A = this chain, B = another copy of it.
């Protein structure tokens, strides 16, 4: 089972030759998820060798063009290439009309089922859950309604301790309970504590995506102890006023969220086209939180 993120676009509102608008491809325990879909995402998908027909969940954070103008083109190409597997899109309420309208005028009604689920901008919300992963959204603070996303591996099973099990009276019928951490009462009435016959499971990993947002200190609780946090850093502290005015964050502010949330690692992205290098972003973030890097288009990050 793998858990990794491929950065398809790391730029901000105005695309540059080096940074496409926002899009990320996440594979978590064989679930394939696209987060945001700026213009040109389908070209980036091809460029970086992503097998895009595997995507079954698309999460759209908000309706600024650099986060969704590539969606209808991607869906059209999925249709033209013969997709029949359904896809679910999670995002703001207006998104469904925008997508369906454009597909309909072109006569490109997809053969596959297209479902839309509206995200709440008032409170955290579980969007999808199965035995392998859970996807949820949470409100951010931007000029228009915007959410972040959290992708978690489901809690893993405890590992059986085969040595301890020998001669314990416990058999295969009891294993599901034990793996789930539940104690077992034998027919004799004796209690066998799960903790005595199992080891702790491997840790469950998680990835949080926060773009775009003004500095929002309460985010630290929402993303608490995630393995990897992606947080926008459109500006550096030199442009702190501009960040505030446009409801964006600086690299320092992103690092504060990472530090206070005790996350494993921090990724910075959504850099404004005004910065030619990443040194200043990196330097000011590192002063607050050392495990940080600035993402680039095409970068692949292992979460687990």
Chain A residues within 8 Å of B, Cβ to Cβ: 13-17, 20, 39-40, 42-43, 46-47, 63-66, 69-70, 72-73, 76-77, 80-81, 92, 94, 97-98, 101-102, 105-108, 143-144
Contact = CB atoms under 8 A, between A and B. Distances in A.
Contact of A69 (B17, B73, B107): B73
Contacts of A43: 15, 17, 20, 39-40
B13 A42 contact: no
Given A92-B105, A94-B105, A73 B77 contact: no
B107 A13 contact: no
Contact of A14 (B14, B15, B81, B105): B81
25 contacts: A14-B77, A14-B80, A15-B42, A15-B77, A16-B46, A17-B43, A17-B46, A17-B47, A39-B39, A39-B40, A39-B42, A39-B69, A40-B40, A63-B106, A64-B106, A65-B72, A65-B76, A65-B102, A65-B108, A94-B101, A97-B101, A98-B98, A98-B101, A98-B102, A98-B105
Contacts of A46: 15-17
A70 B69 CA distance: 8
A87 to B, nearest CB: 17
Given A97-B101, A98-B101, 11 more contacts: A15-B42, A17-B43, A39-B73, A40-B40, A63-B105, A65-B72, A65-B76, A65-B106, A65-B108, A98-B102, A107-B144
